[in-house]
A and B are shown apart, each in its own frame.
Chain A
C-alpha cells in the first residue's frame, strides 16, 4: 500500500521541516544579535 506510505511519509517530511525550524528557533540562530520577530 504505497498510498498509505505516502500519507505517513508526507506527514513525516513536513513534521521534520517544522520541528527542525522550531528547534533552531528555540536554540537561537547563532550569529544573530537580536532575535528576528
Chain B
C-alpha cells in the first residue's frame, strides 16, 4: 500500500471509531436535559436518579468521544498537509469556531454537570445540562459546516499566487445547503441513537422485572423523543437525496446504481446486484418514478446516469489539463496577460486536471490512456455505496417502527408491555450505530476521488510522509483504539447491568451489600 491508501485507511478508521461515540453523546445530552427538566418540574427524585444514572453511561461514552476527537483535529495537519495548506483558509475557520463557540462550553459544562450537583441550585444545574446539550449540538454544527464544504465547496476561489483556495463569502459557507441538510440529518440520527440506547437498556430491565418504576419512566421518555427524532431523520434523509440530485450528481448516481440516464421520471431501485463489468444492475426490483421524485421533486427532470456523467468529466479533464499546464507556466514566471486570461477561463476545471497527476508526473503530455483512466476513476465504485445506503435505510425504517410501537404502548399506559416489543427494543441496540456508520460511509466514500469536491483530488491531499511512518501510526492507533473500545464496552455493560443501583442511593433493586461493594 502507498501513502495515499494508508493515509485514507488511517483517516477512515479513526473517523469511524470516533463516530461510534459522537451520536450517543448528541442524543443522550438532550435525553439527560429532558429527564432533569421533569425532575425540576415534578420534584420527583427518581428523575434525578435517572439523570445521574444515564449520565454515568453518558460519561463513559463521552470520555472516548473526547479521546478519539483529538485525533481527528490533529490528523488534517499530520496526514493531510497539502489539504490543510490548500483549503485551510476556508476549512480551518469552522473548526476553530467550533472550538471557541461550542467545544469550550461543552467541556467546561460537562465538568459542572458531573461535579456540580451539590454546589448548584436545581435550576442552575438544569441550565448547565441544557447548555451542555446545546453545545454538543453546536459542535456538530461547525464540524458539519466544514464537512459540507468538502462535499460542495462554495464561497471560495482559487488564488494562483498563494496556490490555494481562499474564502470569498463566509455566509455562503455557513448556509451551504449541503451543510444544512447534513447537520440536521446527522444530529437527528444522534438523537435516535440516544433514544434507542435508553429504550433498549430500559427494556432489558423490564424484561428482567428489575427497577420497574425507573425503567418505565426511562422507556416513556426515550420512546417519545425517539419517535419525533426518527421521523425527522427520515424526512431529512429524503431532503439530503434532493440536495444530492442538485449538487452531488455523481454520488447520487452511484448510490442508486444509475448506470445510464433514463427518461424522466427515474425509477428507484429497491434491491438488486450492481455489476461493474456490464454497468447494469442484475435482478433489479424497481419502483417507477420514485427516484425522480426524491432527487428532482418533479416528474419531468432526468436523473443523470454514471456514463453520461463520465462523458462530462472527460471534457472537464481535458480543460483541466490545460488549466494545470497554464498554472505551472504562471508559477514558473510566465505572467503574460494571455496566460492569465486563458487560465481564468479554464481555472474552474483545475481540479479535474489535477486528477491526472495520479497517473503521470507530466500532466502536459498525458496520454489518451491516462485520460481514459482518470475518467474511469472519476466516479466511485457503485456496489459499496449501493449496499451501505440500503443498510442505512433499512435500519432507519426498522427503528421508526420500533419507536412507533414503543410510543403507542407507553401512551396507552400498558402495564406489562408485550415481550416481543421489549425484545425488539433490546435487539435493536446495534441498529443506530450500523445506520450511522453506513451513512458516513456513503457520504465520504461517495465523494471519491475527491478530498474537496471537484477541487482537490484525494491522492494529492496527503502529506509526503514515509510509508513506514504511517504504518507505525496506523498500527499503534489500531492497537490503542481496540483496547479502548473493549474497555469502554466492558464498563458500559457492567454499569448497564448494575443499573441505578450503581448510584448507591439504597432505593434500587440489586443493592445488596455484595453488589454495593463491587462498584
Contacts and interface: CB of A to CB of B under 8 A. Distances in A.
B228 A12 contact: yes
Report whether over half of chain A's contact residues are helix, strand or loop; otherwise say mixed.
helix
Contacts of B216: 29
28 contacts: A1-B180, A2-B183, A3-B180, A3-B184, A5-B184, A6-B184, A6-B187, A10-B30, A13-B225, A13-B232, A14-B37, A16-B224, A16-B225, A17-B34, A19-B224, A20-B221, A20-B224, A20-B407, A21-B34, A21-B217, A24-B217, A29-B217, A29-B413, A32-B213, A36-B46, A36-B214, A36-B217, A37-B45
Given A31-B415, A32-B213, A37-B44, A17 B187 contact: no
B228 A13 contact: yes
B42 A22 contact: yes
Given A22-B41, A31-B415, A37-B45, A17 B183 contact: no
Contacts, number: 98
B224 A2 contact: no
A22 B45 contact: no
Given A20-B221, A24-B220, A13 B183 contact: no
B188 interface: yes
A9 B191 CA distance: 11
B137 A14 contact: no
The CB with the most chain A CB atoms within 10 A, among B183, B214, B232, B239, is that of B232
B9 interface: no
Given A2-B181, A29-B213, A17 B415 contact: no
A20 B410 contact: yes
A9 B137 CA distance: 13
Contacts of A21: 34-35, 38, 47, 217, 220-221, 224
Interface in B380-418: 407, 410-411, 413, 415-416
B42 A14 contact: no
Interface residues of B, number: 46
The CB with the most chain A CB atoms within 10 A, among B180, B212, B228, B239, is that of B228
Contacts of A16: 224-225, 227-228
Nearest to A12: B228
Contacts of A14: 30, 33-34, 37, 225
The CB with the most chain A CB atoms within 10 A, among B42, B44, B225, B239, is that of B225
Contacts of B188: 9
Interface in B1-49: 30-31, 33-35, 37-38, 41-42, 44-47
Contacts of A9: 184, 188, 228, 232
B45 A24 contact: no
4 residue pairs, one from A and one from B, having the closest CB atoms: A13-B228, A31-B415, A17-B225, A20-B224
Contacts of B47: 21
B229 interface: yes
Interface of B: 30-31, 33-35, 37-38, 41-42, 44-47, 137, 141, 175, 177, 180-181, 183-184, 187-188, 191, 212-214, 216-217, 220-221, 223-225, 227-229, 232, 236, 239, 407, 410-411, 413, 415-416
A31 to B, nearest CB: 4
A30 B225 contact: no
Given A13-B232, A29-B213, A18 B37 contact: yes
Contacts of B191: 10, 13
Given A2-B239, A13-B225, A16-B224, A22 B183 contact: no
A17 B247 CA distance: 36
A26 to B, nearest CB: 9
B30 A25 contact: no
A19 to B, nearest CB: 8
Contacts of B410: 20, 24
The CB with the most chain A CB atoms within 10 A, among B41, B187, B224, is that of B224
Contacts of B30: 10, 13-14, 17
Contacts of B38: 18, 21-22, 25
Contacts of B33: 14
A25 B410 CA distance: 12
Contacts of A5: 184
A21 B239 CA distance: 31
